[in-house]
Every structure is written in C-alpha cells, then in structure tokens.
C-alpha cells in the first residue's frame, strides 16, 4: 500500500510518547520516581509532545480534516473510533494525574494505574485498526498488536533511560530496557518468516473457484485476462504500490541494524547520557523505517482483481 508519511509519523511518535508515559507511570507505582526532579518534568513534557504531535499528524491523512469528529461516532464497531475516544480521554486524565501528584494526594496511585491502562489501551487500539482488516493478510496477524506494544515500550524505555541519565536519576536496569527492544526485533523476524512468500490469499479464493475439484469437474488456476482500465485508478495508486526489490532489501537491512545491534552498541560504546540518546535515536529511526515498510509491503486483496495472482 502507498505509505502516508503522516500516519507513519503518527504511529511511531504517539507510540513512543505513550511508551514513555507507561515507563514513568510504572516507575511511580513502584515508588522509584522522584517527581520533584526536573528530569521527570522533562520526560512528562516529551511524552505529551510526542503524543500530541502524532495525533495532529494523523489529521493530515484526512481528505477533509473538518470531518475528524466523525471518527468518534462508531465506538461499538470501529477500532478507529475507540482509538480516537481513548486518545482524547488520555489528556484530561493525564492532567488530573499531574495535579494529584503535585499535591501529594493519596489517590494519585489510582490515577497513575488508570492512566497506565489507558495508555496501553490506546496503543492496542491503534494496532487493531490494522490488525482487524481481513483485506490485508500481512496486517491481520497477532504480530501487529504485540509488535506495536513492543515498539512502544522499547522506544519509551530508551527515551526514559536517556532522560534519567541526563538528569542524574537512577537509570532503569539495562536488561529491563532492552527486553521490549529485543522482543520487538524477535516479533519482526517472526513476521518476516511468516510472510516470506505470497500465497495467503489468491485470485482463486477471491472468486470462490477451488484450485482442485472432484474428478470430472473443471479445475485450474484463475488468471486475469484484462484489468479493465488503461490508466491508473485510485485503487491502483493507493493499493497497488510496488516497492523495488533492491530498495526493499536495503531498507530491511537498515531497519534491523537500527532496531537490533545499533542500540546496545551505541549505549555501551559511548559513555554517559550521550550513548543513551544515540541508542534512543537509532531505535526511533528504526521504528520509522519499520512503520514505513509496514505500510509499503502490505498488499490489499484488491490487487487480485488487477492482475496479481496472490498476496
């Protein structure tokens, strides 16, 4: 499918911001967060900035941004509506939690837990927008929601480590921070293995024609004789995006280098907070690449009606 840069940035930025918020909230619930330190305020501000920038970027994908309110109208049936409602609800609850925390209210722990669950729900809802689509086999898999969560926690954990190192706070254990990073890489490798070849939906299935039939009945492979149009259409432009094999291979290698080896190498090779920031930046760039390829390599079943034999 044709990657929309606004959605690529939205899913990567909001995921990182929500992941950072989840790390802060877990640290607060564990009693290991000194909310009086400036680094904590900077972390909360960065999380809000990433989430807000991502949500604003998502509106650029709309043909008419004034119709954005319609995204809230189908909460019972649409993951997009659920994401919109939960994302908007995140802001007043976050403001309330900050106020309770600053006042030292005992109920701040309850608001922290509620905000943690809400942030997690927003990430899952964003992933399910794609994972629920039967028309895109490469998205309709458990790898999508689990991967989105892992990438969110990986990005957030590395950002929190960098901020903590810069602000003189206790840096989270390296094993704990790298766990979601390694999980994200493992999930992506599993996805690559599953979709290494096409054939998850075929033109025969699209037309309900079996590849084989009982003896004496017609059988065989369906093929398209004429696409029915001489020029490109909206469907071919949006869903017929073809990524050159050489370019795809280069981008995949770069993605796995940034997501995998680059993170621990930069974190440990460069001393101090600089290494943590470089590791966070490398992983963030890897997530942007992963998200671009997530859309570019997705194949909609409508391609079966325009000459492609399988997706």
For residue 296, tell me if it sits in a domain. Answer: yes
Query: Which alpha helices (DSSP H) does 195-271 contain, by range?
Result: 203-206, 234-239, 245-259, 262-269
pTM of the model: 0.90
In a domain, 222, yes or no: no
Residue 223 included in any domain:
no
**Which H or E run contains 118?**
helix 108-131
pLDDT at 243: 77
Q: Does the pLDDT of residue 169 top 80, yes or no?
A: yes
Task: Among 74-78, 79-83, 195-199, name the one with the lowest average pLDDT.
Answer: 195-199
SS3 24: helix
- Classify the C-alpha dihedral 300-59-283-172 as positive or negative: negative
In a domain, 26, yes or no: yes
The mean per-residue pLDDT over the stretch 39-54 comes to 95
**Across residues 194-222, what is the average pLDDT?**
70
Question: Number of helices and strands (H, E) in the chain?
Answer: 11, 0
- Ramachandran region, residue 168 (left: φ > 0; alpha: ψ -120 to 50; beta: rest): left
- Say yes or no to pLDDT of 211 above 70: no
- Is residue 40 domain-resident? yes
pLDDT of residue 179 exceeding 80, the answer is yes
Q: Is the dihedral of CA 241, 242, 247, 252 positive or negative?
A: positive
Of 50-54, 238-242, 293-297, which gets the smallest average pLDDT? 238-242
Encode pLDDT of 118-166 as tens digits: 999 999 999 999 999 988 999 999 999 999 999 999 999 999 999 999 9
Residue 218 resides in a domain: no
- The CATH number that applies at residue 77 is 1.20.1630.10
Question: Is residue 42 a part of any domain in this protein?
Answer: yes
Does residue 311 belong to any structural domain of this protein? Answer: no
> pLDDT higher for 228 or 271?
271
**How many domains does the chain contain in total?**
1
User: What residues make up the domain containing 149?
Assistant: 5-212+231-306
pLDDT at 81 over 80: yes
- Sign of the CA dihedral with 302 first, then 308, 309, and 311 last: negative
């Amino acid at each position: 499918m044709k990657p929309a840069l606004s959605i690529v940035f939205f899913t990567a930025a909001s995921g990182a911001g929500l992941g950072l918020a989840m790390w802060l909230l877990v640290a607060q619930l564990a009693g290991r967060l000194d909310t009086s330190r400036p680094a904590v305020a900077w972390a909360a501000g960065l999380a809000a900035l990433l989430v807000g920038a991502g949500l604003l970027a998502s509106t650029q994908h709309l043909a008419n941004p004034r119709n954005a309110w319609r995204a809230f109208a189908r909460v019972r049936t649409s993951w997009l509506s659920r994401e919109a409602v939960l994302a908007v609800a995140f802001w007043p609850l976050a403001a309330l939690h900050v106020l309770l925390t600053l006042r030292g209210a005992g109920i701040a722990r309850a608001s922290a837990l509620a905000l943690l669950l809400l942030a997690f729900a927003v990430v899952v809802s964003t992933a399910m927008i794609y994972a629920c689509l039967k028309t895109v086999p490469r998205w309709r898999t458990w790898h999508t929601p689990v991967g989105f969560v892992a990438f969110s926690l990986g990005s957030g954990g590395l950002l929190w480590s960098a901020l903590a190192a810069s602000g003189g706070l206790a840096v989270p254990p390296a094993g704990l921070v790298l766990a979601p990073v390694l999980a994200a890489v493992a999930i992506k490798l599993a996805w690559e293995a599953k979709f290494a070849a096409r054939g998850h939906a075929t033109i025969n299935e699209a037309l309900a024609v079996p590849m084989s039939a009982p003896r004496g009945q017609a059988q065989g492979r369906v093929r398209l004789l004429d696409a029915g149009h001489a020029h490109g259409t909206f469907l071919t432009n949006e869903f017929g995006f073809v990524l050159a094999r050489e370019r795809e291979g280069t981008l995949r290698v770069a993605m796995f280098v940034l997501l995998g080896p680059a993170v621990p190498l930069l974190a440990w090779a460069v001393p101090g907070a600089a290494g943590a920031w470089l590791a966070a930046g490398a992983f963030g760039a890897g997530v942007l690449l992963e998200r671009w390829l997530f859309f570019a390599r997705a194949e909609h079943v409508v391609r079966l009606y325009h000459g492609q034999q399988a997706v």
